[in-house]
Amino acid sequence: MKELKILAIIVVLVLIGYWGIEPLAHSIMHKHVEEAIKKYNLPDFKFSDLDPLPSGVKGNAEAGKETVKAFCVSCHSLKKEGINAPMPSQAAAQSFGVVPPDLSNIGGILDEKYLYNFLKNPQKATENPKFSMPALGLNDQQIMDIVAYLKSIAKKNITGEDVVKEGCVRCHSIKYQKISAVSPADTMKKYLGKVPPDLSVIYKAKGEEYLDAFINKPQAIIPGTGMPRVGLSQEAQEKALAYLDEISDPHKEQRQKVGLLVLAYLAVMVGLTFAWKKKIWKNIH
């Protein structure tokens, strides 16, 4: 059949073109991302570059509570225990660049090993030399107590929305969910170099692979970025990404359903129009 041959040529040419402008172009333009992902094996939820948890030191949540009260609440709020922030957020943002997070649920979204390293040396753990929180000079026992305490009070069965609200919206707005960043734009600009992007449709703009790697180790993807490594645990990050996907594309299910109906309808049309063509052309050749 000559016509099928022509169709085959068109299909081949279109597929070559599609391959060129989509997968090929993507792989070349995003080479640095692919390389970083390979080099650091991202997302790396083992946080291999950080120190291991101290062996033989077991955290005590009761003791941790006291340590937190002694060391943390001079800057952080702990709403679960009825402790409010010592400064209004505007003033806190002026002093620190961003508003310090509430500690109620932080133990539920951050990785344990990361949290240990963070409390030891925040600048190293976040890979952000300008990070506001200072190292507190705590010993391993005190740190593990704090970790045990924060984990014990954190909300169980945390959702993706919770993770994003706890972990992201101190800096990022999510306009389409009517969420604006806790910290004011001007102090963040001074502190981070630019106003962090809105997250409403960030999932469509960046894609899962990129976000999964970037959130896990920002400096590997954009060297020098103001975004700190926040150290989400694997579970928390997966939930956060699922949430960002959902809010950027809320009609996914409807699209699949309507799509199948439309294609089924058109398949019937193909059959009917083919039958009509046969009928009209019966006496033509």
Partner 1 sequence: MEKKGGFMNWLDRRLAVDALWRIMMSEYYLPKNINFLWSFGVLTMLVFAILVVSGIFLLMYYKPDAELAFDSVNKTIMMDVAFGWVFRHTHAVAASIMFLVLFIHIARGMYYGSYKAPREVVWITGFLLFVLMSATAFTGYLLPWGQMSYWAAQTITTLFEKIPFIGPDLVIWIRGNYIVADATLTRFFALHVVFLPLLLIVVTAVHLYAVRIVGSNNEDGIPMTKEEKKVKGIPFWPVFMAKEYFVMSVFLLFFFYLVFFNYSFAMDPINFQPADYLQTPPHIYPEWYFLAFYEVLRGFFFSQNLGLIAFVASMFIILFMPWLDTSPIVSGKRRPLYKIAFWIFIADFLFLTILGKLPPTGLYAWLGFVGSIVFFLFFIALPIISKIEKSQVERTGR
Q: Does 281 bind partner 1 (CB under 8 A)?
A: yes
SS3 state of residue 102: coil
Q: Residue 182 gets which letter from DSSP?
A: S
Distance CA 75, CA 79 (A): 13
Pick from 35, 205, 223, 246: which binds partner 1 (CB under 8 A)?
205
Pick from 52, 88, 193, 250: which binds partner 1 (CB under 8 A)?
250
Q: Does 178 bind partner 1 (CB under 8 A)?
A: no
Which residues neighbour 56 within 8 Å (Cβ) at sequence distance 6 or greater? none
Part of the chain binding partner 1 (CB under 8 A), chosen from 70-78, 128-136, 227-235, 265-273? 265-273
Q: Does 251 bind partner 1 (CB under 8 A)?
A: yes
Distance CA 6, CA 69 (A): 77
Q: Does 204 bind partner 1 (CB under 8 A)?
A: yes
- Residue 160 C-beta: closest distance to partner 1, Å: 18
Q: Does 224 bind partner 1 (CB under 8 A)?
A: no
Are 201 and 251 within 8 A, CB to CB?
no
| Selection from 195, 152, 200, 158 nearest residue 179 by Cα | 200
Angle at 141 between CA 215 and CA 130, to 5 degrees: 35
Q: Residues in the site for partner 1, rule: CB under 8 A?
A: 2-3, 6-7, 10, 13-14, 16-18, 20-22, 24-25, 28-29, 175-176, 197-198, 200-202, 204-207, 248, 250-251, 255-256, 258-259, 262-263, 266-267, 269-270, 272-274, 276-277, 279-281, 284-285
